């Protein structure tokens, strides 16, 4: 029996990784982010093309959770606090509007449709995210990273990530309690912000001490082992203090990014993330029920209509953020377009809501459609605005 379980596990993992890489390669060759290919690979697997693959397999759900923690850890490593300060108040204003406007639009839309309060909050939260990785990749490929608009977009996207992590932590608290309690939300936000502030104050001493220990050790793989252990330890500390594990993992990345081992850690963590993160995205895509997009029934047409409304709200909410740019002569369209892609963070929001039973499969499919469309259209719009 044990041997059968191992064989089944390896077969499913093989199919997941092959699907992620094959469809990711296809997306890359089409000029799109690989994460879209990984999502599509999951959607294909979710259709039942392989009878042995199950989207709700607890083993792979666990692996996908590890993938999220490592993904947010890597995001933290790529987040430069110095860049945040350099971007200044303009980036902060863009990020703030870029979080508030989509949330209000999403929450207002769902409220107007008569949806439950919990669903309204989850949808509003899912619309707040910005994928800094996708925007940074486009700007880098174009050689435009030094433009003032690029600095504003990247700075705002990083601040947006921090705000998104705090909101995500609050959303996880809502999912755990099963009810919308504003005092609980405020408490969770304060805990997340407090943990982040305390970690950024005390953390540099821990991270630099960790690097000193690594310098003195000779065992193979000590750097990657120490970095992952630090990420897990910070995640557990965050959980112990009542906030989300991903807040701790994200903070661990920010702290290690300020050491002289940043480049080495980034280089060694990438292969680990490249194994675990695709499992998350494939499992997310596998939970999408394609039948809800079949316009043959009134219910499915309602899902398509909702997806269209969410896409409009998602795009409008981020373009509105460009109005916060007060400097003359800057390309506001480029700033707005750069904030549009939702990427992996929006998927994490949707996944939490689905796992908690708060978001119905039809709404989940609509949110995933919003994430995919915004991620698809942002790169060409940004390229056109800057060309």
- Give the DSSP letter string of 167-233: HHHHHHHHHHHTS--HHHHHHHHHHHHHHHHHHHHHHHHHHHHHHHHHHH--STTHHHHHHHHHHHH
Task: Tell me if 137 is assigned to some domain.
Answer: yes
pLDDT of residue 238: 82
The fraction of the chain above a pLDDT of 90, given in percent, is 19
Q: Residue 358 in 3-state DSSP?
A: coil
Q: Which of 82-91, 136-145, 316-325 has the highest mean pLDDT?
A: 316-325
- In terms of residue numbers, what domain contains 105? 34-50+58-191+279-386
- CATH (domain of 67): 1.20.1530.20
pLDDT beyond 70 at 3? no
Task: Tell me if 218 is assigned to some domain.
Answer: no
pTM of the full predicted structure?
Answer: 0.73
DSSP state of 324: G
pLDDT of residue 291: 75
pLDDT beyond 80 at 349? no
pLDDT beyond 50 at 1? no
pLDDT tens-digit series, residues 250-280? 888 888 888 888 888 888 998 999 899 899 8
Banded pLDDT at 17 (limits 50, 70, 90): very high
pLDDT beyond 80 at 376? no
Task: Tell me if 223 is assigned to some domain.
Answer: no
Task: Tell me if 5 is assigned to some domain.
Answer: no
- The closest alpha carbon to 172, from 349, 368, 347, belongs to 349
Tell me the C-alpha distance between 287 and 54, whole Å. 9
DSSP state of 357: T
The length of the chain in residues reads 387
> When comparing pLDDT for 31 and 222, which is higher?
222
Average pLDDT over residues 273-292: 84
Structurally, the chain folds into a number of domains equal to 1
Task: Tell me if 85 is assigned to some domain.
Answer: yes
Q: Which of 2-6, 111-115, 325-329 has the highest mean pLDDT?
A: 111-115
Task: Tell me if 74 is assigned to some domain.
Answer: yes
């Amino acid at each position: 029996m044990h041997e059968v379980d191992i064989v089944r596990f390896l077969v499913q993992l093989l199919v997941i990784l092959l699907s992620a890489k094959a469809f990711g390669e296809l997306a890359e060759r089409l000029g799109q982010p690989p994460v879209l290919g990984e999502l599509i690979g999951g959607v294909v697997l979710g259709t039942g093309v392989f009878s042995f693959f199950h989207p709700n397999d607890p083993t792979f759900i666990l692996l996908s959770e590890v993938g999220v923690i490592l993904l947010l850890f890597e995001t933290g490593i790529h987040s430069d606090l110095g860049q945040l300060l350099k971007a200044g108040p303009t980036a902060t204003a863009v990020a703030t509007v870029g979080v508030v406007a989509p949330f209000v639009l999403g929450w207002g839309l769902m409220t107007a449709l008569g949806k439950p309060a919990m669903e309204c909050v989850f949808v509003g939260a899912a619309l707040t995210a910005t994928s800094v990785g996708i925007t940074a990749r486009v700007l880098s490929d174009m050689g435009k990273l030094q433009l003032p608009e690029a600095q504003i977009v990247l700075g705002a996207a990083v601040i947006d990530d921090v705000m998104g992590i705090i909101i995500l932590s609050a959303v996880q608290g809502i999912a755990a309690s099963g009810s919308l309690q504003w005092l609980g939300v405020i408490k969770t936000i304060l805990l997340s912000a407090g943990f982040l502030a305390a970690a950024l104050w005390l953390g540099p001493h821990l991270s630099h001490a960790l690097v000193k220990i690594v310098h003195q050790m000779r065992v193979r793989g000590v750097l990657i082992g120490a970095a992952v252990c630090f990420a897990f330890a910070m995640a557990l500390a965050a959980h112990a203090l009542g906030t989300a594990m991903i807040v701790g993992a994200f903070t661990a990345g920010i702290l290690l990014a300020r050491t002289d081992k940043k480049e080495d850690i980034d280089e060694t963590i990438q292969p680990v993330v490249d194994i675990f993160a695709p499992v998350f995205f494939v499992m997310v895509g596998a939970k999408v029920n394609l039948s809800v997009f079949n316009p043959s029934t009134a219910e499915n047409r309602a899902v398509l209509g909702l997806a269209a409304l969410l896409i409009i709200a998602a795009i409008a909410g981020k373009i509105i953020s460009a109005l916060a740019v007060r400097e003359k002569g800057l390309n506001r369209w480029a700033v707005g377009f750069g904030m549009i892609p939702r990427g992996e963070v929006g998927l994490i929001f949707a996944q939490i809501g689905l796992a908690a039973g708060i978001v119905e499969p039809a709404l989940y499919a609509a949110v995933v459609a919003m994430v995919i469309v915004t991620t698809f259209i942002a790169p060409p719009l940004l390229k056109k605005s800057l060309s």
